[in-house]
Amino acid sequence: MSQTSSHEHQGLMPQGPEAAVAALALLAEGQLVGLPTETVYGLAADATSDRTVAQIYAAKGRPSFNPLICHVDGVDMAHSFAHIDERAHQLIKKFWPGGLTLVLPRKAGASVSELAIAGLETIALRCPDSAFTRSIISQLQRPLAAPSANPSGLLSPTRASDVRLAFPIDTVPLVVDGGPCPVGLESTIVACCPGAPLTLLRPGAVTREQLEAALHGEVLEDHRATADDQLSPSAPGMLTSHYAPRAKVCLSSGAASHVGHNDAVLTFAGHSLPGQTDANTCLDLSRSGDCVEAAANLFSMLRRLDALHPDTIHVVAPPRKGLGVAIYDRLQRASAPRNNDKHDL
């Protein structure tokens, strides 16, 4: 796509044939493109090129020891890059395309950037439930490294406009607008390596209950967080401080915190907090108590509240069951202490 065309569209084009041609041309040239998925928008680049993957890290300000998810168009492409055992095949059959990322043993000689996998012997693969993005991958004939299209550690984008505002056109020449992300929460990550238990590394769009049902009752182990997760994480999204707005976030049980005059409130199912008044801006993730609706609203509502520059955003989380587990995980990371206020370390 020419520079003139890029500026003509302000770097934002609706999903469709014209956007597909433009996106493919830019990706083939080694540039970055914002692409829609059902979970959140991704900042995409050719996963086989060190140079283009390095651009992702630079654009996001992401630590290079933090691996990226590589997006494939289906199981055949996945087989080119990873060893897939029977358990992984069961999960792929049930949840691909969709919100499940599998951390698998990388095949020797697989043509994937060492930067994308942060030098690990494993690779994180996902097949997104976006026909447009899968078509881009198929036509490119290479996987796309595509972490969430936001500055590292900050709120994940669920609308194309979030991405366009986050990056200048000379860094990300094109963002494809596929509408609001229907899930609005990042993928679930499961480690599936031969001879080792299946391990839930990050809760997300696919729930533990759904995973275990697909595995006919096999129980997933929980990842035990260690200091190594902060220095050399084995999968994306495992840093303690992550998915955060710029304002301080206080995760409340519903009774433990007191809301100040210049604070904002993000609640669930109509709950209120001590000290909350009409002066406080308040949004509700789901007045009906629906966790699917809450997940879809989470990042966009945090972003709206953050734009008001409150002293603190007080949050009432949904119950920790089903999809509520993943929502709580994101809120816990958003409220974690931030080293030097960098949201990233």
CA distance 334 to 332: 5
Percent of the chain with pLDDT over 70: 88
Residue 3 has pLDDT above 50, yes or no: no
pLDDT at 345 over 80: no
User: In Å, how far are 45, 57, 69, 105, 110 from 125, measured between CA atoms?
Assistant: 14, 18, 6, 10, 13
In angstroms, rounded to a whole number, what is the distance separating the alpha carbons of residues 133 and 38? 10
Tokens of 180: 């609001």
58-86 mean pLDDT: 92
Over residues 273-313, the pLDDT tens digits come to: 988 998 899 999 999 999 999 999 999 999 999 999 999 99
Mean pLDDT of the region 309-332: 93
Per-residue pLDDT at 342 exceeds 60: no
Q: Higher model confidence: residue 301 or residue 63?
A: 301
* Domains of the chain, each with CATH number or no CATH: 3-231 (3.90.870.10), 248-341 (3.40.50.11030)
pLDDT tens digits, 214-260: 998 888 888 665 545 555 555 665 555 567 899 999 998 655 568 99
Residue 146 pLDDT = 97
pLDDT for 330 beyond 60:
yes
Strands across the sheet with 199-202, in order? 12-14, 174-177, 33-35, 42-46, 144-145, 69-71, 122-126, 100-105, 188-191, 199-202, 221-222
**How many other CB atoms sit within 10 Å of the CB of residue 54?**
15
Q: What pLDDT is attached to residue 341? A: 38
Residue 306 near residue 155, CB atoms below 8 Å: yes
Cis peptide before 97 (omega within 30 of 0): yes
Over residues 96-108, mean pLDDT: 96
